[in-house]
Amino acid sequence: MSTAPLDQPGAVRDENSFDPLRILPFLKSRIPGLADGPIELKQFQGGASNLTYLLKIGGRETILRRPPGGTKAKSAHDMGREFRFMQRLSPHFPCPRPLAYCEDESLIGSTFYVMEKLQGVILRRDLPKGLSYAPEQARQLCLNLIDTLIKLHTLDYEQAGLSDLGKPAGYVERQVSGWCERFEKAITDDVPRCEALMAWIKAKRPADSARPGIIHNDYRFDNVVLSPEDGTSIVGVLDWEMATLGDPLLDLGNSLAYWVQQDDPEMMQTIRMQPSNLPGMLRRDEIVRYYGEKTGREIGNYDFYYVFGLFRLAVIAQQIYYRYKLGQTRNPRFQAFGMFVTVLAQVADGVIQKSTL
């Protein structure tokens, strides 16, 4: 494997800008030893939900997270909840240590929180220039990714003090009905209506898991930080916006919705968001088998979890596309999200046509 470049931010987009000097007094009151300045603000371009910035104060690098502008789903982008989740989880699991949470929206126009910055590599659609993996290294990276997810799913959430941040009972039903409702509220006239797809998901919904766990709800390569030394071990997991307690198999299905493998058809390759197509990476069915063997879970209804993951990802893309269509965000990346929704719906329909459930 070649030398791994670190993830770097760029200039702050005009629509996401704010004056960082306004928050300096608040941060100094919450973070011991914080210097007066100078202060510098940059923005990470990855991600399509909460906004992420590099905030450098007097030479100390931290990360600031805030919600996007425009129409938001009810209960989404709760900065305080994400802050509390990481606060309790960080002693037990590799995630950034949160430093300060601000609910005063007058400072930058929204709530926000600041956390420590993890140094490492973040993989996005394609490998950055100068980074490569031999097939055996790609396989090890894939196994490390799955093992970290398994560690999260098997963590004792009661011992970690997270029992009050999720309700495992009724979780599957709430997810199915909730994501269907979100799609219907964000529908535009240039994407499939997904009526048959939603009906199938509702009809095939499994019972709640007898072994609930902590679930991330957006676990993929660009939400993990890799060691800059070896590029395969995971030093931290990011983006706990949607984390909760529930059925770990739904979390696995959500992750597999992002997993475009090397032999997938061209329409799936067009929406690939991570380098899961590298030689040596496990296929989706191999990931499911490995996860089942390591956890002792039966995954006989895999088609449901994969189809639900595809639909849920389509809804997330549609909510962002809806904001773009309404002019609530001008990020040019979001112009293609309607096409993403169409492809995801087609892939889900194809799985349903072949399913024996």
β-strand 98-102 against 244-246: which pairing, if any?
Answer: unpaired
Sign, Cα dihedral of 329, 333, 336, 337: negative
Beta bridge partners of 101: 113
Looking at the structure, tell me whether residues 253 and 285 fall in a common domain: yes
pTM above 0.75, yes or no: yes
Partnered with residue 65 across adjacent β-strands are: 52, 113
Contact 340, 314 (CB under 8 A): yes
Residue 140 and residue 84 share a domain: no
Q: Is residue 1 one of the residues assigned to a domain?
A: no
In contact, 101 and 113? CB cutoff 8 Å: yes
Spatial contact of 20 and 39, defined as CB atoms under 8 Å apart: yes
| Residue 96 falls in which region: left (phi positive, over 0), alpha (psi -120 to 50) or beta | beta
pLDDT value for 330: 86
**Residue 43: CATH number of its domain:** 3.30.200.20
Q: Which of 83, 116, 149 is the last residue of a domain?
A: 116
Q: Let me know whether 42 and 105 are in one domain.
A: yes
Q: List all residues 6 or more positions away from 105 whose beta carbon is below 8 Å from its beta carbon.
A: 111
347 in the same domain as 209: yes
Q: Are residues 182 and 110 in the same domain?
A: no
Rounded to 5°, angle at Cα 95 from 12 and 99: 65
Residue with token string 């990476």: 281
* Residue 74 scores a pLDDT above 70: no
Model confidence pLDDT, tens digit, residues 16-46? 999 999 999 999 999 998 988 789 999 987 6
Q: Indicate whether 33 and 146 sit together in one domain.
A: no
> Does 4 reside within a domain?
no
User: Would you state the pLDDT for residue 68?
Assistant: 83
φ/ψ bin of 280: left (φ > 0), alpha (ψ from -120 to 50), beta (otherwise): left
Lowest mean pLDDT among 231-235, 327-331, 340-344: 327-331
Alpha helix (H) residue ranges in the chain: 24-30, 79-89, 135-153, 171-186, 195-203, 248-257, 266-269, 284-295, 302-325, 337-354
- The answer to whether residues 301 and 220 belong to one domain is yes
The residues pairing with 107 across neighbouring beta strands, listed in sequence order, are: none
Mean per-residue pLDDT, 198-207: 98
Domain membership of residue 127 (yes or no) is no
pLDDT for 166 beyond 80: yes
Distance from C-alpha of 175 to C-alpha of 286, rounded to nearest angstrom: 26
pLDDT digits (tens, 9 = 90+) for 219-229: 999 999 999 99
Spacing of C-alpha 198 from chain mean position: 22
Q: What is the mean pLDDT of residues 173-202?
A: 98
Kindly state whether residue 67 falls inside one of the protein's structural domains: yes
Kind of pairing between the strands at 244-246 and 60-66: unpaired
pLDDT of residue 35: 84
152 and 210 within one domain: yes
Average pLDDT of every residue of the chain: 93
User: Is residue 130 one of the residues assigned to a domain?
Assistant: no
Q: How many domains does the chain have?
A: 2
pLDDT of residue 50: 85
Distances (CA, A) of 44 to 132, 142, 209, 296, 325: 22, 24, 36, 38, 23
Instruction: State the Cα–Cα distance between residues 91 and 166, nearest whole angstrom.
Output: 19
In a domain, 300, yes or no: yes
Q: How confident is the model at residue 48, as a pLDDT?
A: 56
Per-residue pLDDT averaged across 121-137, rounded?
94
195 and 79 together in one domain:
no
Instruction: Determine the straight-line distance between the first and last CA of the chain, rounded to whole angstroms.
Output: 42
Averaged pLDDT, 207-234: 96
Shared-domain flag, residues 295 and 327: yes
Residues of the domain holding 57: 14-116
Residue 238 and residue 319 in one domain: yes
Residue 71 has pLDDT above 50, yes or no: no
Give yes or no: residues 289 and 332 share one domain: yes
Q: What is the mean pLDDT of residues 304-321?
A: 97
State mean pLDDT over 66-84: 75
Q: Which two tokens stand for residue 87?
A: 């606060």
Strands 51-57, 39-43: pairing is antiparallel
Identify the pLDDT of residue 37.
Answer: 75
Residue 199 resides in a domain = yes
Q: In this structure, what CATH number is given to the domain that contains residue 170?
A: 3.90.1200.10
